Amino acid sequence: MISAGAAEDDVVIARHDAAITAAEKAGVRHLVYTSLSGDGDHLTYALAHRWTERRLRTSSLKWTVLRNGLYAEFLAAIAAPGPDGTITLAARDRTPGRRGPRGPRGGRGAGRGRPPPS
């Protein structure tokens, strides 16, 4: 189940409740929910996520909460796009002992895809 989009908290909560209730009635065996990277209790804007996770805990379903990082559209909203409207993201090298973004010769899959603009 993917979060029910941008709307007021009460609208999102109603959508999530309807989806969970429908899953229970339909005999769904396992529900997977995309949420926040943490439990959200410290965030003022995460009411719908907090409510949904609590609703899942009290449901009759087996469930999994995916702890996603920031959504790409959120990054796009806060990042400064280039003149053509694109935003370039760099993956970090997770090799022990190395730091920083993967360069043209570093990391798996390096050098594939479109080169960055000059």
The per-residue pLDDT string of the chain (118 residues; one tens digit each, 9 = 90 and over) reads 887 667 888 999 999 999 999 999 999 999 999 887 666 566 666 788 889 999 999 999 999 998 776 665 566 666 666 777 776 666 655 556 655 544 444 444 444 444 445 4
Q: Residue 36 in contact with residue 43, Cβ under 8 Å? A: yes
pLDDT at 66: 86
**Can you tell me which residue has the tokens 């996770």?**
53
| Token reading at 112 | 């594939």
Q: Which class for 33: exposed (0-12), middle (13-18), buried (19 or more C-beta within 10 A)?
A: buried
Residue reference for tokens 């920031």: 70
- pTM recorded for the entire structure: 0.57
